[in-house]
Amino acid sequence: MNVLVTGGAGYIGSVLSRILLEKGYNVTVLDRLFFGPDSLKEIIDQISFVKDDIRFFDPKVLKGVDAVFDLAALSNDPCGELDPKKTLEINYNGRVRVANLAKKYAVKKYVFASTCSVYGFQEEVITEDSGLNPLTTYAKASMIAEKEILPLADKNFSATALRQATVYGFSYRMRFDLAINGMVLGYYRNGKTPIMRDGKQWRPFVNVKDTSNAFITVLETEPELVNGQIFNVGSDEQNVQIFDLAKLVAEACDLPFNYDWYGDCDTRSYKVSFNKIKDTLNFRPQTTIKKGAKNVFNALNEGKINPDDPRMITVKWYKHLLEMQQFLKDTQIDGVLL
């Protein structure tokens, strides 16, 4: 089976692509490589690679593709606010384009990488049927993309949205702007972790390997169970308040619990039910928060990750790319970044 992964060089995509290869799938990765090609260097000879943008790529890439995992996006809430117009162009228009083209080219299954950020702030435990309350451009883009993509589903085209919990764990395109990973980096560097005020906010979490396996579970499930459906991806046990999360990460790293407050009080807080994906698809995450955090801590200690690589803080790297784009304009040098 031929699977196209947009954003396949990214934090989740680089892990997902490897798991697909291990399972015997033929993998094509489409990625702009905003963060460079390093995440694919070990598998580049095993995949088909297309360096392109979901907004502009030649649709012929989709010929012969059986399934699309659509992960390409400007990732996370802070990044989405750097240039809201650009975020909507890529995360909304770009991914709706991919879905429509996938249907046109007779792709059988399309899986959209959405986010639990669409829930924003809510006090009750949230299910897939709960009202949405997106508080950022990133979340709003995912919400409106879902609303256009899922109605494309029919008997010949299976469309599914996976609303992922906040992801954590080791990846080949590492990120330290995610809550658990950032806490691990804080303990590694300073023996204490940063905690966003006021620490009482609830957030659901899922390991990067587990969420990758959720995409594959949808792929390998009969269409009638997933077509036109939305699934929250995570586990009830990994709904955690941020202050308590920092304690868990300290335990995972075998370090005393020390912390610094930062930022204003987070306006996002939500507890999510993952019963639907568990009951319908028998999907259960296998990695605990402590195990995933320990893996990242060990990778830092073993030199597998360069903690000073500027690309590992996504918002800072996007700022750099935007500055470079302005530089190219000011100096009248041709070049396209974002």
| CATH number of domain containing 150 | 3.40.50.720
Contact by Cβ (8 Å): 196, 269: no
Contact by Cβ (8 Å): 66, 45: no
**149 falls within a domain:** yes
Range of the domain at 87: 2-168+205-241+268-287
Q: 303 pLDDT band (50/70/90 cuts)?
A: very high
pLDDT at 190: 94
| Percentage of the chain modeled with pLDDT above 70 | 96
Q: What is the pTM of this model?
A: 0.94
What mean pLDDT value characterizes the chain? 94
**283 falls within a domain:** yes
- CB count within 10 Å of CB 225 equals 12
Quick: pLDDT tens for 104-148: 999 999 999 999 999 998 989 999 999 999 999 999 999 999 999
Which residues, 6+ apart, have CB-to-CB distance to 283 below 8 Å? 213, 214, 217, 231, 233, 277
pLDDT at 327: 43
Give the total number of structural domains in the chain.
Answer: 1
pLDDT exceeds 70 at position 68: yes
pLDDT exceeds 90 at position 267: no
**29 falls within a domain:** yes
Measuring CA to CA, which residue among 60, 148, 144 is closest to residue 104?
60
| Percentage of the chain modeled with pLDDT above 90 | 85
The residue that leads in pLDDT, 24 or 325, is 24
Contact by Cβ (8 Å): 242, 194: no
pLDDT at 107: 98
